[in-house]
């Protein structure tokens, strides 16, 4: 079973990208605070890249901005590519299947 559930804050405003196949996509980073303190008594955070597709991406871009808390249910995906030195690089990211807006304000109409 490949299932991930995250609750965290957006680190930047989501932006829509249209793919060559005319699909809407947004790549966001969610800061997820760890449940324990480090040796200095502070909570650390993990910064997790999440990929949103189509309606999930459009709604997130419309209703969320930097600092909003979101809940994400999805799956892990690992992909690879070669850099300019022909070295294989791997990326692990979450593919969102559902997103819940826990705090948000609709963008002001211009």
Closest CA to 93 of 73, 81, 76, 70: 76
pLDDT of the residue at 106: 57
Closest CA to 27 of 2, 3, 53: 53
- Chain-centroid distance of CA 45 in Å reads 14
Taking the C-alpha atoms of residue 28 and residue 15, their distance in angstroms, rounded to an integer, is 8
6-57: pLDDT as tens digits: 999 999 999 999 999 999 999 999 999 999 999 999 999 999 999 999 999 9
58-76: pLDDT as tens digits: 999 999 999 999 999 999 9
pLDDT of the residue at 109: 47
Taking the C-alpha atoms of residue 1 and residue 18, their distance in angstroms, rounded to an integer, is 30
Question: Domains (ranges, CATH) in the chain?
Answer: 4-101 (2.40.50.140)
């Amino acid at each position: 079973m490949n299932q991930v559930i995250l609750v965290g804050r957006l680190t930047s405003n989501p932006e829509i990208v249209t793919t060559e196949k005319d699909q809407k996509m947004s790549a966001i980073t969610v800061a997820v605070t760890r449940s324990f303190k480090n040796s200095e008594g502070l909570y650390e955070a993990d910064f997790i890249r999440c990929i949103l597709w189509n309606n999930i991406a459009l709604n997130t871009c419309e209703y969320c901005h930097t600092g909003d808390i979101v809940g994400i249910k999805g799956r892990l995906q690992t992909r690879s590519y070669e850099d300019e030195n022909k070295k294989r690089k791997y990326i692990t990211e979450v593919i969102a299947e559902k997103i819940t807006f826990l705090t948000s304000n609709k963008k002001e109409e211009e």
